[in-house]
Amino acid sequence: MTSSASKVGGSGLVKTVEIEGRGRALVASQSLRGGQIILTDSPILLYSAHPLSSSSSAYCSNCFRHLQICSTLVSCPSCPCLFCSPDCLTHALSSSHSPWSCFTLSLLRASPSLSLSHSERQVQARFLVAAYNLAIVSPSHFHILLSLQGTALPSSDSDAPTFLHSLLSSLSPPQGVAGFSVELTTALLSKDKLNAFGLMEPPVLAPGGERSVRAYGIYPKASFFNHDCLPNACRFDYVDTASHHNTDITIRLIHDVPEGSEICLSYFPVNETYADRQKRLLEDYGFTCYCDRCRVEANWKDDDEQEEEQDDEGQVMDEDQDEQMIGSENENEIGDGGGENDFPHAYFFLRYMCSRENCWGTLAPLPPSDSDASPSNLMECNVCGNLKKADEDFNSDEDRLSVDD
């Protein structure tokens, strides 16, 4: 770890450092308490997660609030995009929905070659329009975007930069953007792949329900957080409830963190299996995770393979025992009696993972009244928003509190 560190956002609570093998990271610059807000970050770029061919108009095209909760709706004078208020439209026309952006998105929607592409390619086109529009309306923010870390695109998507750059060049090249080229397009797509945060839909609390993404945003300071499969911080957003700056995200500590410790987020719900986590991290972010949890679960895998090889009768490990070891990542199994002998990190799941059915959010204490105060006795879920009292059963309806209580 290098000693040449800088404070993030002027808070003085965290600082950026270089950690060998992990790149830029954020560490605690002092002892921090559970529930403390260590960062609030605003996006420099937002774009819809829906394909261009989608007819979805459920969200404001600027702030991505659900339009069904808005009393006044207005449309762009030049395209079908909807906005939650006249103020939002006015702001968008001078920033995210500039004349070039509006015109180019209309051309892309009508493009036969893009309409026949898969949905991911269409979402990438949305990002590139947002990124090149940023270069036009806010060059300083565009330079921040280019300064973020990137990773090589997977071979399965290696033709995306050439295809999309050629399409933009033929339809509506951004005027006045220095260095507009396929190389710049490639660099931008790599920044998006490694740094975009999803602004999520509320959870679908029904069997088999999956939470979907409504929009993606680039948050320059929050992009410094590295991943850990048992994080010590988590992210909160209030897209549909905040009256101002509703697309800001807040990073809050899950538990106490000593000075000098790295602060990490989980890039996805913590209940995913070892194999699924490793596959997702390698494909989406280009690295293999060696956190404490992954090292423990990797040893389980090795033990399983050795036992199968040594089984003289060629029989595999008993199914029930296998589920106890590998499946104990599922919070419900841990809550039904799993302990440290079965899964060394069981305490995290029991205390810090929301047990509301199909939620899989992470719990963090409400912010303390001041930095010296003890963590709050109320824990908030960063997905469904419900509150629970610390150390009480979240499955009990009488213990649940709404955020508005």
Q: What token pair was written down for 38?
A: 């260590």
- Given a cut of 50, is residue 71 above it in pLDDT? yes
Dihedrals phi, psi of 293, to nearest 5 degrees = -65, -45
pLDDT, greater one: 116 or 323: 116
Q: How confident is the model at residue 289 (pLDDT cuts 50, 70, 90)?
A: very high
- Could you give the percent of the chain with pLDDT greater than 90? 58
Rounded-to-integer distance, Cα 327 and Cα 172, Å: 51
Q: For residue 195, which of 226, 159, 165 has the smallest C-alpha distance?
A: 226
What's the confidence (pLDDT) of residue 130?
A: 98
pLDDT of residue 219 exceeding 80, the answer is yes
Phi and psi at 138, nearest 5°, equal -150, 80
Q: What is the mean pLDDT of the chain?
A: 83
Share of the chain above pLDDT 70, in %: 80
- Going by pLDDT thresholds of 50, 70 and 90, the confidence category of residue 322 is very low
CA distances, 365 to each of 35, 37, 395 (Å) = 4, 10, 18
pLDDT tens, residue by residue, 21-65 = 888 899 999 999 999 999 999 999 999 999 997 766 789 999 999
314: left (phi over 0), alpha (psi -120 to 50) or beta: left
Question: What was the pLDDT predicted at 123?
Answer: 95
* Rounded Cα gap, residues 40 and 247, in angstroms: 11
Q: What value does the mean pLDDT take over residues 64-80?
A: 90
Supply the pLDDT for residue 54.
76
Per-residue pLDDT tens over the stretch 258-271: 999 999 999 999 99
Q: Model-level pTM greater than 0.75?
A: yes
Report, as an integer, the average pLDDT of 277-283: 94
- Whether residue 273 is predicted with pLDDT greater than 70 in this model: the reply is yes
pLDDT on residue 27? 95
Residue 337, pLDDT > 50, answer no
pLDDT on residue 208? 63
Higher-confidence position of 141 and 346? 141
Residue 209 has pLDDT above 80, yes or no: no
Query: In the prediction, which pLDDT does 355 show?
Result: 84
pLDDT reported for residue 367: 92
